[in-house]
Amino acid sequence: MCGIAGWIDWQKDLRQEAALLERMVSALTPRGPDDAGLKLERHVALGHRRLIVVDPEGGAQPMTRRYGARELTIVYNGELYNTEDLRRPLLAQGYRFRGHSDTEVLLAAYAAWGDTCLTRLNGIFAFAIWDRQREELFLARDRLGVKPLFYAPRPDAFLFASELKGLLAHPLVPPELDRDGLAEVFLMAPARTPGHGVFRGVAELRPGHALRHSRRGTQITRYWALEAKEHTDDTEATVHTVRDLLRDTIERQLVSDVGVSALLSGGLDSSAVTAFASAALRRDGRPPLRTWAVEFADMAEHFRPSDFQTSLDGPWAAKVAAYLGTDHRTVTLGAREVADALDAATMARDLPGMADVDSSLYLFCKEIKEESTVALSGESADEVFGGYPWFVRPDALAARTFPWALRQSDRLALLDPDFVRYLDADAYVAWRYEDALAEVPRLPGESVTEARMREILHLNITRFLPTLLDRKDRMSMASGLEVRVPFCDHRLVEYVFNIPWSMKTLRGQRKGILREALRGDLPDDVVDRPKSPYPSTPDPRFLQTVRKGALEVLADPRSPLQGLLNRPAIERLARADQDPFALPWFSQLMGLAQWFAYVLQLETFMRRGPVTTPYRPGRRLDVLTPAEAAGAD
């Protein structure tokens, strides 16, 4: 993977702005530690940081090619898994290539087919192409949003970057939060409304969208969306199709000029990826797949089974590794180092995130990077196949809000009451939820149950999954590790989305259709193992550390969180002797310990820059100055 950044300015001569472009690009160095490149013309500046995975000699960027009288330049972050399928028709049309990189194929595909090339791509990507003759910039992002892309339009300028930090490195993008930005951080996070860039004047190019910018302005188009279709395959055909699509997807994603590893928890999803990848490598006579598991020190001592985590991952990962003959490694993390990494994880994500779930993944990826550059992971299987508890919990199905955040009132109780009123918190969350529901495609004639399950699935794919993809991308790329996510293949997602819920839950099991598709490839007890999420540390030392740190933040009169948090309520919570996973305020494992950790992440985030806001504790909204009121909209 890589990092990309760029700047269009119709008034400035950007050939004189190399230092500023370099600052934007340097902010993305961890994404591409192997190489860097800049291209500056009068009104366009493009930058790239490269992580070398394919074609070390021929894949340098920015890449410029001439096609007749037309000159195109690309900066690209991603990986195409159907490069050769694209190369063949392009060769037949007369296009020629200097190397074997997917970058050059993508650029030629755009030259040949224009915007419609996007419908031919199978992969994960965010890229920008500058057409010199037309003075036009084209941006596009993959269908599920595996690779990030943010932009900031200005009156005479337009900036973009893979991560927010790339934009914030430019003086035209100060770290300011308006009221909606504050709501995203304090009410929605660690989820984020698709398209919302959090900072004032910043947007995210949404998954499945493309953008064109020129002197005439900016146009955004959607080239892909999930559609509701009647599923006509019977159960047997569905099982075979799911298996074939998954196997083909995983085999495609093994393409690399460097070794490929896999993240293995011993759960169904990571075990499926490992099984098909191992079989493909063995068939091709390649060395055994290297697999990686993460553990917390003293996990067995502190672990207590729950509805969310029924068993330890370690023994299951070892069992699957032995069964498939992988080269298996385990990374063990301590409570103190996980807590110490919260700041680094926040800086990697540019926003407060998922507490120790982020910081442990950050440390895990750093260890993997010592020996690997590419890894496969099982993200999105639960969103696509319906694996989370909230797919079956009556309270979650009946709730008129996001099913992974049912404890909104508990969360609001930890914010200052005046701040809650300023945010108009309940209305903001309800607005975002109704917007999400309005996007759900409908299938006429569906039963009430099937229609509701389609809603829940769509919410998970479009609102919850991006949170996990953000986490995986930022935590891995902060170490220059490329993580691929086979379950995000759009062909698989499109097919499974329309499998009726009654068939998805074959044999009365969550993800039953996937389990059936994997029988024979994995031991039956692995296939039938209940869902177990990425682990969050139960070590009481973690709770003690983050609780102490959060209380110190609350007591600091210089903290930017003063007047935003409900100090008495949090202090009462800190004095209570509760389970670390009490107060589940987001997802499955974001409880009490994670709230204190989130306070620390908020502090890191707000001090960076520092972040400025129009909110003034103790000031009623109706007495804000005109400038402050404008910032509150």
How many Å is the Cα radius of gyration of the chain?
Answer: 24
Listed in sequence order, the residues at least 6 apart from 234 whose beta carbon sits closer than 8 Å to its beta carbon are: none
Residue 51: CB atoms within 10 A of its CB come to: 21
CB 484 within 8 Å of CB 377: yes
CB 377 within 8 Å of CB 210: no
Consecutive H or E run containing 294: strand 290-296
CA distance 195 to 372: 32
CB 111 within 8 Å of CB 72: yes
* 315 burial level (CB within 10 Å; 0-12, 13-18, 19+): exposed
CA distance 402 to 411: 14
CB 270 within 8 Å of CB 377: yes
Residues marked as catalytic: 2
Residues found in the chain: 633
CB 375 within 8 Å of CB 188: no
CA distance 39 to 15: 9
355: nearest Cα among 22, 603, 18, 524: 603
Strand stretches in 164-289, DSSP E: 203-204, 209-214, 217-222, 260-263
536 dihedral zone (left: phi>0; alpha: psi -120 to 50; beta): beta
Identity of residue 143: R
Listed in sequence order, the residues at least 6 apart from 590 whose beta carbon sits closer than 8 Å to its beta carbon are: 190, 354, 355, 357, 536, 584, 598
CA distance 184 to 425: 10
Residue 279: CB atoms within 10 A of its CB come to: 16
CB 315 within 8 Å of CB 128: no
Phi and psi at 128, nearest 5°, equal: -130, 135
Task: Name 9's bridge partners.
Answer: 157
Give the torsion sign (CA, 611, 616, 621, 626).
negative
Tell me the longest C-alpha to C-alpha distance in the chain: 72
Consecutive H or E run containing 604: helix 592-607
CA distance 496 to 226: 11
523: nearest Cα among 378, 387, 323, 327: 323
* DSSP-H helix ranges across 72-121: 83-92, 102-113
